[in-house]
Amino acid sequence: MRDWWRLALLSPLGLLKPSEALTRGVNPAEAPRYHGDTFACAEGATELPASSINDDFCDCEDGSDEPGTAACAGRPGADERWFYCPNSAGTPRYVYSSRVGDGICDCCDGSDEWQLPGTCQDLCEEQGRARKARLEQRRAEMERGIRKRQAALADAEAEVKEWTGKLAVLEAEEAELLKSLQARQEIRRQKRAAVVKEAEQAGREVAPDLAPESKKVSEYAKWMEKGDSASEGPGRPGASNSEQVCSDKVCIARAAVARRELRQIKVKSGALVDFVEFVYASGEASVVGEGKGEEQEPFDLEPGEVLVEIRGAQGGLLDRIQFVTSRGRESKAYGGSGGDSFSFKASDGKMIVGLRRAVGLAGRVTGMEEALFRPLTPAEKELEDAVGLVQEAERGLSAKAASMQELQGKIELAAGAHAAYQSLNECGTAQLGQYNYKICPFGEATQGHVRLGRWKGWASDARHVGLFDNGERCFSGIVRSLRVQFECGEKHVVETVREPSQCVYEATMTHPAACDPRDFEESDRGWTAPGSRKENLQKESRVLEGAVIEADLTLKAQPLHGAVICRLDGTPSQLLPAGPGRSVHGLPEIRCAWAA
């Protein structure tokens, strides 16, 4: 009996003619079990007389003796037993045993209320007609959506081909760059060894700013913007070799960093000093400060001239700053007149190459960066050059990696499960109730002027569900978020938006990318109800979950206690959670998928 489902087809109702009372509520596939003179609750269990079947008394723990009554409803072991509605003028389906004889019509043919004659009418045909009309309409819409999606997928495929080609080129280039980097690193190692040896022989320390790996100025500047207090704590670049120095009431840190050749200092200031920008010979710049000060005349350094002193005044903010060079030249005093004055000179043999400041508008100076100034020995000069070359190679490599990553991301999106969403990307809008909604996949979702969330990604627990988070904060402090169920449709239309709990939104939106033809083909082939959960368990070595599957053009089911299994010609679908599906005629839609 491997293929119980096929058996159901081979055993037409008419052939068996079981007593109606004994097989009431029984799926025809199961009927033979109820034909004997005796009945066993389970294989090997004590035989009961056939009169125990459907006698409105629960004899079996699993409820199998009462397929047609509610006598076993509520027994913990009988949760797998359902009442089978033949719905001869419509589609057979299962209902919970608890529905039988409660005076409420659940089967469209009213067969669940057989104990209360006259309670229900047979509405299957009528309901079936109406449903069919609705389904036909939906089918046409779905077909248009599927065509759109397929076209988009074809475009995406071409693009993916092109991108894949580009990626291969980039990969080859990357390999070359890597080789070059390794060679330059080796040279640097040799040069550093030479410098160390030379220093040892001369009996002096290795210049600290030649020993460490150099930092990228731009990254460092970025890091500086992060925090005020943090900028003075341990763990910052160069902090290990920084020291505290004071000038009158002002104390700052003096940190040793790598050599940089300073060319120009640009300042923006008013009554306070907002921006200070150090421009280096390499073309890079380090910007410290914040604010809107006016741009001042820059201070240029001549070749060979370096910065050896900063003067100024500050309290909580930097009021004034002035720069003094190795040649005794003084810049203009930028800024205003408040604050405690200070003057910091570079240490012996060093020059000032950078500033550190507290964050915020015109943040005070918290440190100055020094680098070796004495003329370099030839070996040191060679090391400096070698370090520069390594840095250059590293920059090239990381730029390459970034472009590859970008391309890979594009390919993944275009070839992945949600490929069509990329190429058919469009915002959906709707006016629902008093609000205008706009949902942009990969962008933002808004309700009027209120942001419900920013695109976060696809849900892992359901198909065609996009998540938005980090919306605007609610009055109560909850941050708004949105879950969007995309449904097959030709256009991008927001259909429903709900707020089931405060500031947690759920929406449905039509999107042609949700028109997966597999869903459609499956639904086109028709469905039938599965046998009991228990039987499935015996036939399949996998845990199946409860399901009530309605045979219909679309896939509709009542999710029971968690998940749903669908079958087609005996092949079980993937196990899918009974997530909050779309509601069709009051029943949530369940999708079942098969491996190709």
Residue 433, interface with another protein (CB under 8 A)? yes
* Nearest distance in Å: CB 45, another protein: 13
Site string for another protein, 112-151 (x = CB under 8 A): ----x-----------------------------------
Q: For residue 34, what are the contacts with CB-CB under 8 A and spacing of at least 6?
A: 18, 22, 23, 26, 50, 53, 67
Member of 431, 460, 501, 541 binding another protein (CB under 8 A): 501
Q: Token pair for residue 19? A: 């007593």
Asked if 401 and 287 count as a contact pair (C-beta separation under 8 A), the reply is no
Chain position carrying tokens 């949105």: 482
Asked if 482 and 466 count as a contact pair (C-beta separation under 8 A), the reply is no
Binding part of the chain for another protein, among 23-31, 51-59, 351-359, 409-417 by CB under 8 A, reads: 51-59
Residue closer to another protein (CB basis): 84 or 421: 84
Segment 510 to 549, residues that bind another protein, using CB under 8 A: none
Member of 61, 122, 155, 499 binding another protein (CB under 8 A): 499
Asked if 322 and 331 count as a contact pair (C-beta separation under 8 A), the reply is yes
Q: Is 40 helix (H, G, I), strand (E, B) or coil?
A: strand
Residue 476, interface with another protein (CB under 8 A)? yes
* Helix orientation angle between 124-202 and 378-415, rounded to the nearest 10 degrees: 170
Residue closer to another protein (CB basis): 58 or 513: 58
Binding part of the chain for another protein, among 6-14, 193-201, 279-287, 499-507 by CB under 8 A, reads: 499-507
The phi-psi region of residue 173 (left if phi > 0; otherwise alpha if psi is between -120 and 50; otherwise beta) is alpha
Member of 11, 32, 35, 102 binding another protein (CB under 8 A): 102
* Nearest distance in Å: CB 121, another protein: 15
Member of 98, 119, 247, 343 binding another protein (CB under 8 A): 98
Member of 12, 103, 118, 203 binding another protein (CB under 8 A): 103
Q: Token pair for residue 103? A: 């005076």
* Nearest distance in Å: CB 583, another protein: 8
Residue 500, interface with another protein (CB under 8 A)? yes
DSSP string spanning 531-563?
A: --HHHHHHHSSS----EEEE-SSS-EEEE-SSE
Residue 473, interface with another protein (CB under 8 A)? no
DSSP assigned state of 67: T
Member of 1, 133, 399, 478 binding another protein (CB under 8 A): 478
Residue 460, interface with another protein (CB under 8 A)? no
Asked if 543 and 569 count as a contact pair (C-beta separation under 8 A), the reply is no
Member of 137, 244, 502, 571 binding another protein (CB under 8 A): 502
Segment 64 to 93, residues that bind another protein, using CB under 8 A: 70-71, 73-76
* Alpha carbon separation from 385 to 294, 376, 563 (Å, rounded): 37, 12, 65
* Nearest distance in Å: CB 85, another protein: 15
* Nearest distance in Å: CB 289, another protein: 37
Member of 559, 566, 567, 581 binding another protein (CB under 8 A): 559
* Alpha carbon separation from 232 to 40, 62, 239, 242 (Å, rounded): 81, 71, 8, 10
- Total of residues contacting another protein (CB under 8 A): 37
* Nearest distance in Å: CB 437, another protein: 15
Member of 83, 96, 114, 520 binding another protein (CB under 8 A): 96
Residue closer to another protein (CB basis): 14 or 103: 103
Member of 390, 560, 565, 576 binding another protein (CB under 8 A): 560
Q: Is the dihedral of CA 307, 313, 318, 322 positive or negative?
A: negative
The one-letter amino acid at 372: L
Q: Beta strands 318-325 and 428-432: pairing type?
A: unpaired
Q: For residue 379, what are the contacts with CB-CB under 8 A and spacing of at least 6?
A: 191, 194, 195, 198
d(CA 594, CA 596): 6
Neighbours of 571 (CB within 10 A): 11
**H/E segment holding residue 405:** helix 378-415
Residue closer to another protein (CB basis): 410 or 534: 534
Contact positions toward another protein, by CB under 8 A?
55-59, 70-71, 73-76, 96, 98-99, 101-104, 116, 433-434, 475-476, 478, 498-502, 504, 558-562, 586, 588
